[in-house]
Amino acid sequence: MTSLIMIFGATGDLAHRKLFPSLYRLFERGRLNKYAVIGVARRSMSNDDFQQSVKDSVLAALGNKDNLDEFASHFYYQSHDVADSSSYAELNKLAHEIDENYQLEGNRIFYLAMAPEFFGPIALHLKSDGLTNVKGYKRLVIEKPFGHDLESAKELNKQIRTAFSEEEVYRIDHYLGKEMVRNIEVIRFANAIFEPLWNNRYISNIQITSSETLGVEERGRYYETSGALRDMLQNHMMQMVALLAMEPPIKLTTDEIRSEKVRVFRSLRTVVGDEVNDYFVRGQYGEGMMADKSVPAYRDEQMVDKESNTETFVAGKVMIDNFRWAGVPFYIRTGKRMAAKSTKIVVQFKDIPMNLYYQTEKMLNPNLLVIHIQPEEGITLHLNAKKAGGHLDAQEVKLSFANTGINAMNTPEGYEKLLYDCMRGDATNFTHWDEVAYSWAFVDKISEVWEGTKAEFPNYASGSMGPQAAEELLEKDGFFWWPVTDLDVDNCK
């Protein structure tokens, strides 16, 4: 790929932990043909110091590499004031010099790895100060959150669209870079045993869990204005719902896949007012034990209000009112300080009309398809088979595939895949404005109710799987949450 990449916020945590190592992996794999990177940030720094920080980042993430000096030699630095047009003029001059030196054909990627309040102003300056006036392509990469609600998202989109067309805006959702999230489409549309069953005739419910063992750590100030609803559900969780529920696209192209995802968002059952508490549960962690150590409650974390009404846990029932999914609940839950770090999708199939096989006086477990996203990656199909040595006794068996060994070693990190997609102009795994707008419209109705009422927090202990109300949400429908730690991928050779 041939491109000049400008990273705004190049001295920040995201650049060091994710972007520099991901760019190196692309370089190592031979996917960066002609490239250069300009790091842009407020602090003063020489090119040599910046290149050393890039090398330190790669060493910390990937270990010692022989060709690290060659990779880092393509990195340049500019101290920059995002509100000053003269800074953009200097940046444009440097960009032209580098473009000519490396023969980058006028291709530019602007990666905004900084606070969201700067997204709009930077985009406007890039346009007004001439940095988007290039003979090659220009693309803007934006991290979440894209707005704080629907109205702020609309305003931000209006600012960005003055400088970039929708096709040039790449809104990153790093979950869409995860190997098994990308695999959802393949599992569904490349297997004849699944797609005919992928509807309300054969599926009783789908559960999506994304649990974290960490608390808010040093992100208390940000989290106080976000909460789990905006931080996780509006983007990551809703994107997984869309991939699981979408109709088969006509072709596997960006526009066709996005079109089907948008149809899912349009079909979401809106919950308003008192209905919110029937469909959604919020929680906030209290103190507890994690890895045999005592951890504080959310309200005792740094930069958190002692009477905070911010949720650190959300569970909900999402209904999709279309022909395929009518009556099938999509249960989603996400939270911090939970018992296990895990992101899993469990597709629970309906029981057969009359189950003839019993086990210890009970019906056998239903068939499950489990998609393991993190920390392990793989697929497990839970079936029932004859118990060895028994008469006609049946037991549960698991058919598993895991990305272990060589597969895991060669699995690209999510940011690596997304950066490569952006360079080659593939926006399939980035979120379109219509997806952002519909998901905000859905989430805002929940936010309005929760922000207007005081919750009884904290309501779950650190080290648990959330508040009791989340269990009751499923129990009233005759279901229960499948425990994520009991659904692990078997060790596959």
- Catalytic sites, residue numbers: 236
CA angle 359, 362, 365 (to 5 degrees): 80
Phi, psi dihedral angles at 337 (to 5 degrees): 55, 40
**Cβ 430 vs Cβ 170: under 8 Å:** yes
**Cβ neighbours of 385 (radius 10 Å):** 11
Closest CA to 136 of 89, 90, 96: 96
CA distances 477 to 112, 238, 311, 329, Å, are 44, 21, 24, 9
Structure tokens at 425: 């102009």
Shortest CA distance to 453 belongs to which of 294, 282, 219?
A: 282
What is the residue-wise DSSP string for 31-42? --SEEEEEEEES
Token pair, residue 350, equals 């309906």
Exposed/middle/buried for residue 122 (C-beta within 10 Å: 0-12, 13-18, 19+): buried
325: nearest Cα among 200, 451, 161, 477: 200
Q: What count of Cα atoms within 13 Å lies in the side-chain half-sphere of residue 152?
A: 10
**Closest Cα partner for 216 from 279, 145, 305, 137?**
305
Exposed, middle or buried, 492 (CB in 10 Å: 0-12/13-18/19+)? Answer: middle
> SS3 for 192?
coil
20 close to 123: Cβ distance less than 8 angstroms: no
Q: Which residue has the tokens 């794999």?
A: 29
Burial of residue 348 (CB within 10 Å: 0-12, 13-18, 19+) is buried
Question: What is the number of other CB atoms lying within 10 angstroms of the CB of residue 327?
Answer: 11
Residue with tokens 């929940």: 446
DSSP one-letter code for 233: I
Q: Which helix (H) or strand (E) holds 399?
A: strand 394-402
SS (H, E, C) 334-360: EECCECCCEEEEEEEECCCCCCCCEEC
